[in-house]
Amino acid sequence: MHLSTLWFLIDSIFWIGFFILEGFDFGVGMLHSFVAKDETERRIAINSIGPVWDGNEVWLIVAGAVIFAAFPSWYATMFSTFYLALVVVLLALLVRGVAFEYRRKVDDPRWRSAFGWSLTIGSGLIPLLVGVAFGDMLHGLPIDKAHDYTGNFLGLLTPYGLWTGVTMLAMCLLMGATYLSLKTTGSLHDRVLRLSGGIGWVAAVVVWGFVTWTHLGLGTGFLPNPLEALAVLAVVASAWLASVKQEGWAFASAAVGVVGVVGSLLAELYPRVMVSTINAAYDLTVANTASGSYTLKVMTVVALVFFPVVLVYQGWSYHVFRSRLSAPRAGGDDPGPDGGTRIRVTDTSPGPTGAAGS
Amino acid sequence: MSTDLARWQFATTSIYHFLFVPVTIGLAFLVALLQTSWYRGGDPVYRRLTRFFGTLLLINVAIGVVTGLVQEFKFGMNWSSYSREVGNIFGGPLAMEGLLAFFLESTFLGLWIFGWDRLSKKVHLACIWLVAGATMLSAAFIMAANSWMQHPVGYVMNARHQPQLNNIAALFTNPVFLWSYIHALLASLVTGSLVMLAVSAWHLRRKRECGAFTRTATVSLVVLIPSLILALFVGSELGVVEDTYQPMKIAAAEAEWNTCDSHCPFSAFQIGGGVNDQNPTRILKIPSLLSLLATNNLDGRVQGINQLQAESVKQYGPGNYVPNVFIQYWSMRVMAYLAAMMLAFAVWGAWLLGRRRLGDSTWFLRIAPWAVLAPFLANTAGWMLTENGR
């Protein structure tokens, strides 16, 4: 296998990992404003992703940086093409990241609700817009000989791109709902599990539509390939498992569904990375955007040595925080950052640095 | 015009980003020190202080991470031609930063914040040290990438005249990288410890938790003073390295329009000195100091802007290779003078502490919260000097 193909595969793993891991914390971020009935439940929902969301976001950073290092021309065209969309994504990431830290800073329902909604909206916008971008890359955009996008912002909102965005949104909601049902107890758990089933059936229809549209767009008929069939079946299975109260398996199936959806899109794309609607000769491909072989060799060594280490310690952190969160824990003994504060030094007002106390 | 806009945008977002980065690097280290004190001595005050300053750290990390993401995206969004040409070199350290440092930092920060009652004391302490180490590691990759922009190494030009990486080790043994990385780390420790000192002083002045905040004032001064002295020393060495590889940067920083052969004086202040006034009125000339700073020799030769411009034209073709001399001259001085003022202030603090009068010195405690502005201004000036002179 040529190294540039290997790096397309590695980058695909990072994107799939991002959509699975950050996918469920986007989902929880969106859902927490709707499924939680009171402040305690909202805290539980946020605390369920509190320890891990930051590490999950790094999957996005690395997925982007890998394109930069391994496929510089793809990076240049992709990021300049989706300029305005990425500005919105960056703002959403910013608002979302800040919301986690600031939400608990002021004990005022309006303050909390403002940051809570920022978290919800930010968590929804990111998968939607990144999904649109992925859809566009496969569907094709007017890209000229110099690999520059010649259209405007509205030209990015292709129907297929939008449907891909909605598909990602639905998958994140399903991931989030099943994850939350895994991490909670009592009435919040029951409510969110019922919701998982509902979201699952809707997601199944959306994913089926996505798969079919992909095929019609590519002119390859109605029959899905194995990866696409897997996507639809896994989402259906997830919905069914949620309705029979098997939340662990429902979550795992939803994750397999993400592998199917993102994996099939990237598989259809390969060996291209961005399709040109002007002329197939202008397509960006793995071969014509890749870095030199020396760079790819260096990166391969670094990835082979360090990526397994990352998987081990991230896995360990999920193991440490494996328990379900329930009301007394979230509000009292082990509050975590979004619970009450027990640090007495922080009773005083903030220092002149402008940073708030607790 | 649009290039100017992109430059302004990049400068603004970089400066904003670098307000948070040094606080994160410095505070992570200091918080790890506080927690180590608690771990070893068992004094619960240190546990509370760890959590208190840990909160400040978290807020900073959150903003630092997202503003850093803006920087990464900007290379593709605004500087796509740059990315296309040199991504195979420049992108490498960025990808490594994500894989080696960001994963480490974010995962163990999560474990640290939520792990107080779930991890053993030892493992929990290891988490904050891993976070502190990861912040410093991440700076290494960024500084390697930046140093490559200052002094490109480890590449060959291919047939299509595009630079291709051929030696990754060269990026990390680049002398500009070694000195500027250490300088940036020390500046971060200075920033973090001044933030801690300022917060401690603010509370001491209000007689709150005096015992606890005297401890953090002590810890911050212990880190601050050596870091400042080393930062000054390393910064001056960096000047020599830059004079070797980027003589124009140093010539512009001294408004040295014409080559000075030996014993070049250093001016503390000047009036004029721009392109239309190449013989500025120099105030407080210190004989031979410039030669010493730029070359480590009292009789060293410092090349002039006009000569360097002529050389560059010969080498790269017609164009203006002279940076904004006003920015260069003053950013260098703002940085150096602020560092000297911080050092004087820190020594004053240490003297008060030694005489057990820190808590009663109204003036020191009143100035400290304002002194925290100094490292931020000095850091910004340092980056303006580095980037504007590139």
HEC sequence for chain A: CCHHHHHHHHHHHHHHHHHHHHHHHHHHHHHHHHHCCCHHHHHHHHHHHCCCHHHHHHHHHHHHHHHHHHCHHHHHHHHHHCHHHHHHHHHHHHHHHHHHHHCCCCCCHHHHHHHHHHHHHHHHHHHHHHHHHHHHHHHCECECCCCCECCCCHHHCCHHHHHHHHHHHHHHHHHHHHHHHHHECHHHHHHHHHHHHHHHHHHHHHHHHHHHHHHHHHCCCCCCCHHHHHHHHHHHHHHHHHHCCCHHHHHHHHHHHHHHHHHHHHHHHCCEEECECCCHHHCEEHHHHCCCHHHHHHHHHHHHHHHHHHHHHHHHHHHHCCCCECHHHHHHHCCCCCCCCCCHHHHCCCCCCCCCCC
Inter-chain CB proximity A320 and B76 less than 8 Å: no
What domains are there in chain A, each with its CATH number?
A: 3-296+315-323 (1.20.1630)
Smallest CA–CA distance, residue B87 to chain A, in Å, is 5
pLDDT 10s digits, A148-179: 999 988 999 999 999 999 999 999 999 999 99
Inter-chain CB proximity A75 and B113 less than 8 Å: no
For residue B115, which residues of chain A lie inside 8 Å, CB to CB? 51, 320
pLDDT 10s digits, B22-42: 999 999 999 999 999 999 999
Smallest CA–CA distance, residue A205 to chain B, in Å, is 34
For residue B83, which residues of chain A lie inside 8 Å, CB to CB? 68, 72, 75-76, 79
Inter-chain CB proximity A334 and B76 less than 8 Å: no
The answer on pLDDT for A349 being more than 80 is no
The pLDDT score that the predictor gives to residue B255 is: 87
For residue B48, which residues of chain A lie inside 8 Å, CB to CB? 343-345
The answer on pLDDT for B119 being more than 90 is yes
The answer on pLDDT for A357 being more than 60 is no
**What residue ranges do the domains of chain B occupy?**
1-173, 236-390
pLDDT 10s digits, B290-317: 888 888 888 888 899 999 999 899 888 8
pLDDT 10s digits, B200-236: 999 999 998 999 999 999 999 999 999 999 999 999 9
Interface of B with A in 80-119 (CB under 8 A): 80-81, 83-92, 94-100, 102-104, 106-111, 113-119
Instruction: Kindly state the percentage of chain A with pLDDT values over 70.
Output: 90
- Tracing tokens 């259809």 back to the chain, one arrives at A268
The pLDDT score that the predictor gives to residue B6 is: 85
Inter-chain CB proximity B69 and A61 less than 8 Å: yes
Average pLDDT over residues A268-274: 92
Distance CA A91, CA A51 (A): 22
Coil, strand or helix at B322: coil
Phi-psi region of A343 (alpha: psi -120 to 50; beta: other; left: phi over 0): beta
The answer on pLDDT for A342 being more than 70 is no
Which of B117, B166, B369 has its CB closest to that of A294? B166
The answer on pLDDT for A331 being more than 60 is no
Q: Write the ipTM.
A: 0.89
Q: Is B5 on the interface with A (CB under 8 A)?
A: no
The answer on pLDDT for B132 being more than 60 is yes
pLDDT band at A327 (very low <50, low <70, confident <90, very high): low
Q: Which of B27, B107, B166, B196 is most worth mutating to test chain A (most A CB atoms within 10 A of its CB)? A: B107
The answer on pLDDT for B145 being more than 90 is yes
Q: Is B166 on the interface with A (CB under 8 A)?
A: yes
Q: Is A97 on the interface with B (CB under 8 A)?
A: yes
